[in-house]
Amino acid sequence: MITPTHQRRELLPEAVASVRATVSAPLDFSFEHLIFDSGSRDGTAAYLREAAAQPGPPLRRWHSADRQLAGPARNLLIKEAPAEAWIVPLDDDDFLLQRTLFHYGTQINANPGRPWFVADFLRVDEQGRYLPNEDYYAWQFDSPTAMLQAIFRAEHFLQGNVCYSRAFVDEVGGYDEELKMAEDLDLYVRFLLAGQLPVLCPHISHLHRFHTRNVSIGVDAATHNADLRAIYQKYAVQLQALGIEEPGK
């Protein structure tokens, strides 16, 4: 598990507790939670010291005095993971479900050679109450090109509802460390450009919490389309060769 965090002392403990509640049996695997504290000044560092000392699955932590973007923070954490590791990102204000890692592990075993997986997720409010009619369902696609077409038509998107191998991230170059938003979608576009369609998993990965301080607050359709155009320009030659049009054209 990897989690960048910034100024989320009041919410982070619930994310940490949700990871520690993981039940992996009957599969036999180990896991750890890697957390990068990016310039927090709200007591997060002290909390993480205490949490790391508690019994349970290992929690390893890093801290920078200044705030960093999510891309470099996630790249640092991935580099600290074992070469053979599978990575599951979790935002610092979300909840991992108790059997998520078990379900991903089951799918990894059932799909040897496939480097990434996608699941569904649910949305909850600030108090963790379920929000009806806000469920996210991953779509089934016939090819990486079909999935890319849906992404750049703004018909489909991906967030933290994924699991991928560290080796695959290393192959495509990790998260873009310059992007201020949509660095996760940018990575998944490169996964698809590498010719790898994700395995669609029939489980719920996490609870995505809506609250007044979400990083995505203010990301409306126009902002999302602007992010898509920026990503498209990075890979325009490859995307045009696949017949995928630039958003807004």
pLDDT tens sequence across 152-184: 999 998 888 999 999 999 999 999 999 988 999
Cα separation of 116 and 112, whole Å? 11
pLDDT band for position 208 (cuts 50, 70, 90): very high
The CA R_g of the chain, rounded to the nearest whole Å, is 18
DSSP state of 244: P
Q: How far is Cα 148 from Cα 188, in angstroms, rounded to an integer?
A: 9
Exposure string over 200-226, b if 16+ CB within 10 A, otherwise e: ebebbbbbbbeeeeeeeeeeeeeebeb
Cβ count within 10 A of residue 229: 14
pTM: 0.92
Say which DSSP state 1 is in: -
Please provide residue 176's backbone torsions phi and psi, each rounded to the nearest 5 degrees: -70, 125
Per-residue pLDDT reduced to its tens digit, 21-79: 999 999 999 999 999 999 999 999 999 999 999 999 999 999 999 999 999 999 999 99
Please give the structure tokens belonging to residue 189: 């576009």
Q: How far is C-alpha 49 from the geometric centre of its chain's CA atoms?
A: 24
Q: Which of 104-118, 175-189, 212-226 has the lowest mean pLDDT?
A: 212-226
Q: Tokens at residue 108, please? A: 């990894």
SS3 label, residue 164:
strand
Query: ω into residue 26 within 30 of 0, thus cis?
Result: yes
pLDDT at 218: 45
